Amino acid sequence: MTDLVACLSTGKGSWIEVAKLINNYDWRNIFLITNDFGKEKFSSQKEVKYIIIDVNKGTESIKKIIQEALKEKISGDVAINMTSGSGVEHMAMLSALMNIGVGIRFVMAADSEIKEV
């Protein structure tokens, strides 16, 4: 089984994409990088682990938060999705995952399944 790491932030309709990703596969763990608003408003029938960030803190600070939250919790390959969020969040997530040393597979929701891109 694979872990899913996804941004849950800005972007019209992007929360729907994240919800489909969560529901269309049997993930080992689901990690959502979001802010307090996202944690409060997003709901999922599956267990989700939230990594709370403040985009105003800058890329390096966000990267450290993500890396601390994920190290020793993920290994091997992880599926990632960056449909939601900003470039700062995306750069921080990618940098954190690369520093942890996991393989990265980009995934997206497609009908009732997921596709690797």
Which pLDDT tens digits describe the chain residue by residue (117 residues)?
Answer: 899 999 999 877 899 999 999 999 999 999 999 999 999 999 999 999 999 999 999 999 999 999 999 999 999 999 999 999 999 999 999 999 999 999 999 999 998 899 999
Q: What is the pLDDT of residue 65?
A: 98
Please give the tally of structural domains in the chain.
1
C-alpha 105/C-alpha 115 separation (Å) is: 10
Q: Which domain holds residue 93?
A: 3-116
Q: What is the pLDDT of residue 96?
A: 98
Q: Where are the alpha helices (DSSP H) in 8-86?
A: 14-23, 36-41, 59-70
Q: Tell me the CATH number at 89.
A: 3.40.50
Whole-structure pTM value:
0.95
Q: What is the pLDDT of residue 11?
A: 74
CB 113 within 8 A of CB 22: no
For tokens 């996804």, name the residue.
6
